[in-house]
Amino acid sequence: MNELLVDHPAPYVRRLLINRPDARNAINAAVRDSLFSALTAARDDDAIRAIIIGGAGGFFCAGGDLPSMVGMAREAARDRMADGHRIVALLWTFPKPVIAAVERAAAGAGAGIALLADRVVMGQAANLLFPFLRLGLVPDWGLIQTVCLRAGQARASQIFLDGKPVNAEAAVAAGLADLAIEDDAVMTRAIEESERLAALPQQAFARLKILLRQNSGTDPLNLAKEAEAQVACLTGPEFVEGYAAFKEKRSPDFRKKAE
């Protein structure tokens, strides 16, 4: 099975759909490799002027593949972070418009991918999920920077500390999403947005994007610091407890030492 479906739903537009519907499109190593290759190809293809990122089966992305994170040594954790960060860095500097079509949910790394887009289109029943602290982890995939950029630092702190789902209406109000529309119209609207943005002057758009992100105070992304923090969390006892609680469908107890 191809982990990434690639097509062209409109002239000058390339669509990338994460294709692991049985796992709610969770991101594994094969998805990371396929996504990086497809994004690089789209960036370098003069015939492509905008891209859409979505998920197959009407579900955006459940985030990282949690079972594959358990029991990693520090070097493996570093390699995993580097693997994801090459996608984050590529999307952060992507010179063409990126539209995220968020159906049902974008969780963890999935939310990270969505918020690196220039336009986020959400279904009215969709949610953005930031479960990191509940798992004993810190936000990654550039989320501290992108949530602060879109919603401001105070609101970002609330979102991460609360750990509650952010529905489409709240996401638009906070600046995390741009449009909240009927669930069955998400992809259609994403295609319409991609066609509109594909008509913009490409060099001017790329320069504007750079200037906006430099002006935000979040350039560069500080991915090295994010990696250092997440490696410590992934290889520490709190993630052991957080994952055990997730698997057992209970609340984690970080006051006790993980056995």
Contact (CB, 8 A) for 122 and 171 = yes
- The answer to the question of residue 192 being in a domain is no
Does the residue 75 lie in any domain? Answer: yes
Residue 211 lies in a domain: no
Cα-flanking dihedrals φ and ψ of residue 88, to 5°? -60, -50
243 domain residue, yes or no: no
Tell me, yes or no, whether 174 lies in a domain. Answer: yes
Find the DSSP H helices in 20-73: 29-44
* C-alpha to C-alpha distance for 117 and 101, rounded to whole angstroms: 10
Which two three-digit tokens encode residue 116? 């690196």
Q: What is the CATH number of the domain that holds 119?
A: 3.90.226.10
Does residue 199 form part of some domain?
no
In a domain, 239, yes or no: no
In a domain, residue 190? The reply is no
Q: How confident is the model at residue 221 (pLDDT cuts 50, 70, 90)?
A: confident
Q: What is the pLDDT of residue 258?
A: 47
* pLDDT digits 0-9 by tens, 61-118: 999 988 889 999 999 999 999 999 999 999 999 999 999 999 999 999 999 999 999 9
Please count the structural domains in the chain: 1
pTM of the model: 0.95
Dist CA 31 CA 28 (whole Å) = 5
Which structural domain range is residue 178 located in?
4-183
Q: Could you read off the pLDDT of 132-183 as tens digits, one per residue?
A: 999 999 999 999 999 999 999 999 999 999 999 999 999 999 999 999 999 9
